Structures are given as structure tokens and as C-alpha cells.
């Protein structure tokens, strides 16, 4: 089971290429600050605009740089089942600890289609698979009933829940069991998610505040929610403003402000507005990051 704060890593670019030096430095920064795990090439890593070669290269760089220091959950999802299988098999061969597989976007499968998609991927690999349920981006919402059916498959182990539906944490725990690994994908509701029985997070905010995020999560896992709430108060402006425009635009700007990498994004994403920059700056100051 994966517990704690796992960073949904940005993919640094320079001159429209993966900036390997900055990527490796970002990974070391995360680990030195106590982060519990890393998630390369998810949505925050701009996976939709990476070529298959770049996607696989980013996974390999991450695994090489981590060198076993923390778990790696590689993003391997696609709305094309065969493509998702290919990316998952690559992650397994490269040495990832698990695969994060998003619910298929755009083609809007039924619950039966979702089940068969994840079943086909799970049957192709021995890697633990975490369902990434994010209806805001994929349109489809996997039900707890479908997740329960998938949990009967040995290597489907849990969910990254980005629904912001806190009562669902309890519902999932009751219907599927405490052993079903629940990770939140919504930084702003992490405190409540953990209090309701979650196991951890896959965080955007921890790209730039891994120390605060790991401290916060350690307190949650200890059951010290009063102290955790104090750190949460520092992080909440960031949790909000990092989604003021399409992610990872704001978090890449924030990363550039603290010297982690350049702000460069790939189209169709563009740099954030002046107004949003000012909001990000204020949130960074609130958290004492600048």
C-alpha cells in the first residue's frame, strides 16, 4: 500500500525538449525534503503532449535518479487500451513500483468498458495498478461498484481520487474495504480526505513545497490533525491558486520562481496571465517559500 505525499512531477522543458538536468535536480530536491513517493508523466507532467519516446524516457530518468530511495508510481494511462498496456509494460521493465492508469478520456466508455479496459491492462502486467479517477478531465466517473469489481483482480490495488467528493472516501472504505489504497488527487481537500480514512495524496503542490507537504502528511498519518491543520493553512492559498489556470501552468511558474526549472510549457498550454502570477507570488510568500 502507498501512503503519504507523492508528487505528481512536472516535466521540465528547455527549448521544447525535456530538460533532463532540471528534472534530475527536481527529483533530488523532492527526496531531500522528505517526500514519500514520486509520480512521473501524469497529467501534471504534461503526458498528453509527450511523444511515446519522451514519455518512456522521462520514466527511465526518474527511476534512474531515484535509485530506489522512494517508490515510483509511473503514469501509464491512455484512452487507447493497447497504448496503455505498452506504457505499463515499459514502466514494469524499467523498474517502477506501480502504474497510475487514468480512466479513458474523450471516448466516454461505460462502466463495463472501464472494467474491461483496466482488466486488460492488469492481465498484461504484474505491476500494482492504481486507478486514476478524474471525471473533470476524462468526463467518465468510475463508480465504487466498478472499483470493487476491479479490486477482485489481484494487482488493481487502489485509486487516485480527483473527484473532490469527500464522502466518497468513506463510501469506498465501507464498500470495498480499508485495504483498498485511497490517494487523493485534490490538494485542497487532502486534510478532510485523510480524516475520512484516506491513505495519502498524489500532489501538485508538493512540486514546490515538498517539505511542508511531507510534514503535513506525516501529521495526518499520526492522527495529529490539529497540527496538520496549521500546515494546511500555510498551503491552502497555493492549493487553490495552482489551479487558477490550467495545470501545470501555475505550478511551472511557481517552480521557476524558486529556481527549480524554466516556466516552459507545450502547446496547447500557454504561460499564465500577469494576474495569476501575482496570485501565485502571494501564495508562495504566504507559505514562506519566497
Active-site residue, selected from the candidate residues 105, 115, 132, 253? 132
* Dist. CA 193–CA 60, nearest whole Å: 31
Active-site residue, selected from the candidate residues 160, 196, 252, 253? 160
Q: Any catalytic annotation for residue 21?
A: no
* Dist. CA 216–CA 225, nearest whole Å: 9
Q: Any catalytic annotation for residue 225?
A: no
Among residues 161, 260, 264, 247, which one has the least CA distance to residue 210?
A: 260
* Dist. CA 267–CA 269, nearest whole Å: 4
Which residues are CB-neighbours of 172 under 8 A, at least 6 positions away? 144, 147, 159, 161, 180, 182
Per-residue DSSP letter, 40: T
Which residue reads 508528487 in cell numbers? Answer: 7
Which residues are CB-neighbours of 284 under 8 A, at least 6 positions away? 208, 238, 254, 257, 258, 290
Question: Where in the sequence numbering do the catalytic residues fall?
Answer: 132, 160
Amino acid at each position: 500500500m502507498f501512503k503519504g505525499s507523492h508528487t505528481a512531477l512536472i516535466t521540465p522543458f528547455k527549448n521544447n525538449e525535456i530538460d533532463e538536468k532540471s528534472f534530475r535536480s527536481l527529483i533530488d530536491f523532492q527526496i531531500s525534503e522528505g517526500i514519500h513517493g514520486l509520480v512521473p508523466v501524469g497529467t501534471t507532467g504534461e503526458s498528453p503532449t509527450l511523444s511515446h519516446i519522451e514519455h518512456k524516457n522521462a520514466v527511465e530518468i526518474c527511476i534512474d535518479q531515484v535509485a530506489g530511495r522512494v517508490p515510483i508510481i509511473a503514469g501509464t494511462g491512455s484512452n487507447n487500451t493497447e497504448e496503455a498496456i505498452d506504457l505499463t509494460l515499459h514502466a514494469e521493465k524499467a523498474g517502477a513500483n506501480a502504474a497510475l492508469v487514468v480512466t479513458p478520456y474523450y471516448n466516454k466508455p461505460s462502466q463495463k468498458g472501464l472494467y474491461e479496459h483496466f482488466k486488460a491492462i492488469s492481465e498484461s502486467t504484474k505491476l500494482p495498478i492504481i486507478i486514476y479517477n478524474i471525471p473533470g478531465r476524462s468526463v467518465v466517473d468510475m463508480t465504487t461498484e466498478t472499483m470493487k469489481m476491479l479490486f477482485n483482480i489481484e494487482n488493481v490495488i487502489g485509486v487516485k481520487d480527483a473527484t473532490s467528493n469527500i464522502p466518497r472516501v468513506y463510501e469506498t472504505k465501507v464498500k470495498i474495504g480499508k485495504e483498498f489504497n485511497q490517494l487523493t488527487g485534490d490538494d485542497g481537500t487532502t486534510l478532510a480526505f485523510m480524516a475520512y480514512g484516506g491513505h495519502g495524496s498524489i500532489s501538485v503542490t508538493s512540486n514546490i513545497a515538498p517539505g511542508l507537504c511531507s510534514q503535513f502528511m506525516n501529521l495526518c498519518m499520526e492522527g495529529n490533525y490539529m497540527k496538520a491543520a496549521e500546515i494546511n493553512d500555510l498551503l491552502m492559498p497555493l492549493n487553490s491558486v495552482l489551479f487558477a489556470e490550467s495545470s501545470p501552468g501555475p505550478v511551472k511558474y511557481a517552480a521557476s520562481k524558486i529556481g527549480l526549472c524554466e516556466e516552459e510549457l507545450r502547446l496547447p498550454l500557454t504561460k499564465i496571465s500577469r494576474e495569476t502570477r501575482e496570485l501565485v507570488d502571494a501564495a508562495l510568500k504566504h507559505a514562506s517559500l519566497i
